[in-house]
Structure 1
C-alpha cells in the first residue's frame, strides 16, 4: 500500500510538472507562432514587391525588345545610306569624266571657231555673189555654190557645236553640284542615324541596369526574409514537436496512473486515416528528382493532384497546431492527431481553420492550391510519427 501511494504521488507530481511545462511550451509556441506569422506577412509583402518588380522587369524587357527592333531598323537604314553613298560617289565620278570630256570638246570647238574668226579677220568676209559670178563655167558655178553651202553649214555647225558644248558643260556642272548636295544630305542623315543608334544603345544599357538592380535588390530582400522565416519556423516546429512529445508523455503518465490505481485501460488503437482529397498521386513518398533542380531529394509525403480550390478535409481528428505560410510548403496546416501522430497539408490556396482549433476527421480545413514551391495545383500530404515523416500510402484506406 505504501508503495502504491508513493507511485501515485510520483505520477501526480509528474503530471503536475508536465502540466506546468505544457503551459510554458504552449506560451512559447504562441509567441513563436506570432513571430513566424509576422515574418510570414513581411515575406508575403516582399514577395508581392518581387512580383511587382518582376512585372516591371518584364515591361523593361518589352521596351528592350522594341529598342532592339528599332536598332535593327537603324542598322538597315545605315546599310541603305552606305549603298546610296557608294552609288552617288560612282555617279559623281562618271559625271566628272563627262564634265572633263565636255570641257575638252568645248575647248576644241572654241579653237575651231577662233581659227575661223581669225581667218575672217585676216582675209575678210568672202563676197558670196562675187565668188559665184567669177565662175568660168556652169559646172564651176555649181561647184562654187556647193562649196559656199558647205562653208555656211560648217560655220553654222561650229556655232551650234559651241553652244551644245556650253550647255553640256553647264548641265554637267549643275548635275555635279546637285549630286554633291544630295551626298551631303545623305551623309548628314547617316550621321543622324548613327547618333540615334548611339542614343538607343545608351537607353538599352540604362534599362538593363535598372532591371538588374531592381531584380537584385528584390531578390536579396526576399532571400533575407526567407532565411528569417525559415529559422523562425524551424524554432516553431521544434517547439511543436516538443509539445507533441510532452503530450505523448502526459498520455503515458495518465495510463500508468490509471494502471496503478487498479483501473487499467487499454491503450489507444492505431489511428485510422482517411484520404484528405480525391485525386491522382503525382509524386509518392521517397527519393525523387528535385522538380526545381537536378539533384535528387527525399520527398516526405504524397503529392495528390486536384483542381484548384478543391476542398481538403482532415485525415484524422486533432488540434490545429499551425495554419500559416510555411516556407516551401506555402500555405500550410499541421494537425496534432494525438499518440505522437500528426498530419501536414501543404501548398493550400485557402485556410478554413485556425491554430488552436479542434477539428474532426473529414472536416473541411482548406483548399487545394499551388503556393510555395509548387509546379501546379496539388496537395502535399504528410503523416508524421513523433515529428518524423512516414509513408502515408500504407496508412490510408
Structure 2
C-alpha cells in the first residue's frame, strides 16, 4: 500500500506545476466561450419578423404617446386661451365698475358731510325732505353696491390671472413633454430604418425573411379559410366575377412586383408572391375595389395591419402594410370606400401596398381583373 503522504505531495506538486489545474481552467474557459457563442448564434437566428414586429410595436407605442402628449398640449393651449379671455373679461368688468364709481366718489368727496346736511336743510317742505333723504339713501346704497362689485371684480380678475399663469405653466410642461415624445418616436423610427437597412443588405437575414414569408403565407391562407361566412341581412353584392377586367387598383400607384415567382437579383433567392406590390406614397388612401363586407381588420404577422373584404361569390381582397385602418370588422363598405392608408407596418421594404385577390381561399393573379 502506497503511503498517503507521498500521493498528496505528488498531487500538490502536479497542481502547482500547472498541469491538471491549467487543463481544468482551459476547459472552463472553452465552455464559457462556447456558451457565449451559442447565445450569439441564437440571437442571430432570431426571427426577422419577430424583431421587426417588436420594433413596430415600440414605434407604435411611442407614436401613440406622442399623440396623447400633443392632444394634452392642445387642450392646455385651449385652456390657456380661455383663461386669458376670462382674465380680460374680469378686467373689463372691473374697469366698468371703477368708471361708474370714480365720479360718484369724487362728487361725494366734494359734497362732504356738511353738504349732505345742507341738501336736507334746504328742503322746501316735509315731503321734499323725505324725498331728498330717500334719494340720498338710494345714492349711498348704489355707491356701496358699486364698491362691493368693484371688489368682487378685482378678486375675479386676480383669480383669472392666477388661473392663466397656472395654465401657461402647464402648457409649457406639456409642450416640453410632447416634444420629448416626438423625439422618442423619431429615434425609434430611425432605429427601425437602421434595422431594415441591415436586413436588406444581409444575405442571412434576407434568406430567413424569405423562409419566414413562406410560413406566413401559409398561415394567412389558413386564416382566410377560417373566416366566417357572411352574416344574414344586408346581403353581399352578387356577380363579382363579372367585374373581371374592370377592377381599379386599391391605391393610386404602380405595380412593382407581380404575382407568382420572384427572383431577388442580389441574393438569387426565389419567393412566391401571392399578390401585387404597389408603389404608393405613405399616407395615401387605400380604397375597396368593390362593395363588400369587412371580415377582418387588424394586425397579422409578416403583413402588418391588414383589411380583408368579402365581396361574395367566394371572392376576398386583402390589403396589407397599412399605416392606419379606417374600417372595422363587420362593416359594409361601398366600392371606393377608404379602408386605410399606405404604410410600412410589417414591411421589410418601406412604405408600399400589398394587394391580394382570393377565390374560395386560393390566391389568384389580380392583374387580369384590373382595368386597363
For the aligned pair, the TM-score class normalised by the smaller chain equals 0.3 to 0.5
Larger RCO: Structure 1 or Structure 2 (Cα < 8 Å, ≥ 6 residues apart)? 1
TM-score (ref. length: structure 1): 0.37
TM-score (ref. length: structure 2): 0.39
Considering fraction of residues, name the structure with more helix. Answer: 1
